[in-house]
Amino acid sequence: MSEKFVLAYSGGLDTSVLIKYLQEKCNAQVITVTVDVGQGEDLKAAEEKAQKLGVIKHFSIDAKEEFAKEYVFPAIKANALYEGKYPISTSLSRPLIAKKMVEIAAKEGATGLVHGCTGRGNDQVRFDITLSSLAPDKKVLAPIRDWGLTREEEIAYAQTKGIPISEDAKKYSIDASIWGRAIECGLLEDANQEPPEDAYDWTVSPQKAPDKPELITITFEAGVPVKVNGKKMAPLLLIKEVNSIAGKHGVGRIDHIEDRLVGIKSREVYECPAATVILEAHKDLEKMVMTRHEVLFKQQIDAQWVFLAYAGLWVDPLKDDLDAFINCSQEKVSGEVKLKLYKGGLQVIGRSSPMSLYDKNLANYNIKTTFDQSSSKGFIELWGMQTRIYNTLKKASKKP
């Protein structure tokens, strides 16, 4: 009797080819699962395509709200920027997709869980670890990696099987969620070549952006955004709104050299309008309401958190431990941050909070300040004591 395999299905080239490969090479019954995290694709078309390719069942799951609240919002609290640049938009969706695959596999009595990752990227790590952790009794298969399929071979195989290939698939490999859009392959593999304009979809070219700056105000409560320009919004709608506003000003284009977990340096191009704006605002607000010690220590926690999420360890117990600290630290991160968007640029121009540690009466240079400047002399004496002693000894040791 043939086995049942649950395949994470995007409707694209890789996973469409896998349906036929699994049927022919493994004599498997294939169940496809498409998880909507805001990629903006036609889910009905993906379902129809899967059915034409002979799957026994297809599941379309709308997980956008869950993704925004349970995955993106924790990333905002953690100021999640991998290597200081990438808002881990792709990374965040993988544990959610894996979770839904496991739920379907349990419901349908499947014995295998299949993803379409290659052996060169990070997603294979994320899927393998999460799937095997959540369903240790199931097989985890990565046929494109394990069978060594190249993109050219996939295209040739698809043509022999009558599998439709989009023009985008021939040019780029694209992955998107509400938190960002990743573009790879083709001309982008030349790290010295500027990305063509047709690689972008969510952002206008900065040269074609409006000639007038636009101000946007983000309101946070307990570390997460709740309002845009004074209007309260649910998580998903809020992210969509900021994506739209920032995108029309060309804000959120990211082009950098990234260190993949598997050791490869890769040129990565992303569009992350909302993530770029919201993370910048959140970091700025934290600096207003947290002490110096909290800010510096949390930077270390944030770096570890984003590495775990990027490196496929979303279900590792250390992440739960870090979440506990981060959630506690965010209780007082409430207030408003005002930003100016202009031709691809982003600038924080104002912030306010009921929990602000900034005191104008202490910080101003007016003679009426409440800060007692005479206290500074004694502080400097103590603060620099060891530095002065060291330099005195150093000078003495050089005497003949």
> In whole angstroms, what separates CA 203 from the centre of its chain?
17
Task: Out of 16, 94, 181, 329, pick the active-site residue.
Answer: 94
> 146 an active-site residue?
no
Segment holding 93, helix H or strand E: helix 89-108
Q: Which residues of 77-113 are buried (b: 16+ CB within 10 A; e: fewer)?
A: bbbbbbeeebbbbbbbbbbbbbbbbbbbbeeeebebb
Task: Out of 10, 173, 329, 334, pick the active-site residue.
Answer: 173
Cβ neighbours, 10 Å, residue 3: 14
> 259 an active-site residue?
no
Segment holding 57, helix H or strand E: strand 57-62
> 151 an active-site residue?
no
User: Residue 198 has what DSSP assignment?
Assistant: G
Task: Out of 16, 91, 93, 123, pick the active-site residue.
Answer: 123
- What burial class does residue 344 get, using C-beta atoms within 10 Å of its C-beta: 0-12 exposed, 13-18 middle, 19+ buried? middle
Question: How far is 194 from 201, CA to CA, in rounded Å?
Answer: 16
Task: Out of 10, 14, 93, 177, pick the active-site residue.
Answer: 14
Q: Which two tokens stand for residue 327?
A: 């959630």
Question: How far is 152 from 168, CA to CA, in rounded Å?
Answer: 14
Cβ neighbours, 10 Å, residue 4: 17
> 132 an active-site residue?
no
Active site residues: 14, 94, 123, 173
